[in-house]
Structure 1
Amino acid sequence: MDQFTINLLFVGASFALYIGIAIWARAGSTSEFYAAGRGVHPVTNGMATAADWMSAASFISMAGLIAFTGYDNSTFLMGWTGGYVLLALLLAPYLRKFGKFTVSEFIGDRFYSPTARVVAVICLIVASTTYVIGQMTGVGVAFGRFLEVSNTTGLLIGACVVFAYAVFGGMKGVTYTQVAQYVVLIT
């Protein structure tokens, strides 16, 4: 078997596994779709968060930062990791307690301010867009190399798979898919 066939089997099996997990974890209600029914165990959620942290955007940005500025700026990694910890400790419990699905909902209702809600939405759009650009660039490069296609085609393939498991499984499907990715990354 040549290397391309092995790559194709590996990528195809991964895609089938992730989409299968999403279908297995299919959301049955709005609450399950948006917040996994608020029933995900903390260890499971931690594994999903860790897999997200160890993503393409993380590796590409850290490698680029070190390559262009040297190891002196690798301290950004501590701030980045600390940000995840602060988010988990200072924001997530209040979102759950307040019964809200999004940060902008929480901020708008907590401070009784439609303006605060709009500012939160704008901040989230800017941050999310920046993150997704890095993430999808990494997906395009990885799948382009594995499948011997252009980076654009690799990006489209990866986007279709992510879209499929997000639509089929909602947040519950995404969470359990991230857990599977965590297991792959750790082993």
Structure 2
Amino acid sequence: MDLQTLTYLVVGATFALYIGIALWSRAGSTHEFYVAGGGIHPVANGMATAADWMSAASFISMAGLIAYMGYGGSVFLMGWTGGFVLLAMFLAPYLRKFGKFTVPEFIGERYYSRTARIVAVICLIVCSVTYVIGQMKGVGVAFSRFLEVDYDIGLYVGMGIVFVYAVLGGMKGITYTQIAQYCVLIFAFTIPAIFISLNLTGNPLPQLGL
């Protein structure tokens, strides 16, 4: 079996897994669509959040910034990671406590202000568009490289898969898909680190290599 056929099989199996997860966990109510029914185990939720951090924005954008800018580029990595921590500590728990589905809803209710709600909407749109642009760029680059197609085709293929499992499963489907992605990414991160450590130090664990 040649490398191209193997690539198509692996990528196809990944697509099938994501769509299968979306069908299995498809949302049956608004509560499930927006907040996964509130029944996701904390460990599983942590895995999904970690997978969101280890996405194209980290794999390609942050790695590219550090490669291009050197040590100074790591500042962006700290800000990117710190944003996730701040969100998890200061916003997510209260959003759940208030029983709201979106950040603007929570902000508007919490501060009794329509103006605050509008500001939250604007901030959310700016952050989301910036994030999605980076993610979609990563999707196009990755799929065009793996499938050996044009960038535009790779982008549309990736967008199509995301659209299917997001619409079918809502946040519930996205969460379980992210958990599967977490397992793949941790494996992809760990194996090279172990072999690089073995190569440089003779120790299987990078920490021992230090």
The TM-score, its normalising length taken from structure 1, stands at 0.97
* Local SS of the residue matching 1:28: coil
- Confirm or deny that 1:25 pairs with 2:25: yes
Q: Distance in 2 between matches of 1:15 and 1:114?
A: 41
Following superposition, the deviation at residue 139 of structure 1 comes to: 0.4
Q: Distance in 1 between matches of 2:82 and 2:29?
A: 34
- Could you list the per-position Cα deviations for residues 136-164 of structure 1 after superposition, in whole angstroms to 9, with x for gaps in the alignment? 01001100011110111000000000000
Corresponding residue for residue 65 of structure 1: 65
Q: Distance in 2 between matches of 1:9 and 1:40?
A: 31
Corresponding residue for residue 200 of structure 2: none
User: Which structure 2 residues correspond to residues 1-187 of structure 1 after superposition, within 5 A?
Assistant: 1-187=1-187
The letter of the residue matching 2:102 is T
* Local SS of the residue matching 1:70: helix
The TM-score, its normalising length taken from structure 2, stands at 0.86
Counting matched residue pairs gives: 187
Q: Distance in 1 between matches of 2:45 and 2:97?
A: 17
Higher RCO (CA < 8 A, seq sep 6+): 1
Q: Distance in 2 between matches of 1:85 and 1:169?
A: 26
Q: Which runs of 4+ in 1 moved over 6 A?
A: none
Corresponding residue for residue 190 of structure 2: none
Seq. identity, %? 75
CA RMSD of aligned residues (A): 1.0
Q: Distance in 2 between matches of 1:182 and 1:11?
A: 16
Q: Distance in 1 between matches of 2:16 and 2:25?
A: 14
* Local SS of the residue matching 1:40: coil
Q: Distance in 2 between matches of 1:111 and 1:59?
A: 37
The letter of the residue matching 2:178 is Q
The letter of the residue matching 2:20 is G
Gaps in structure 2 of 5+ consecutive residues: 188-210
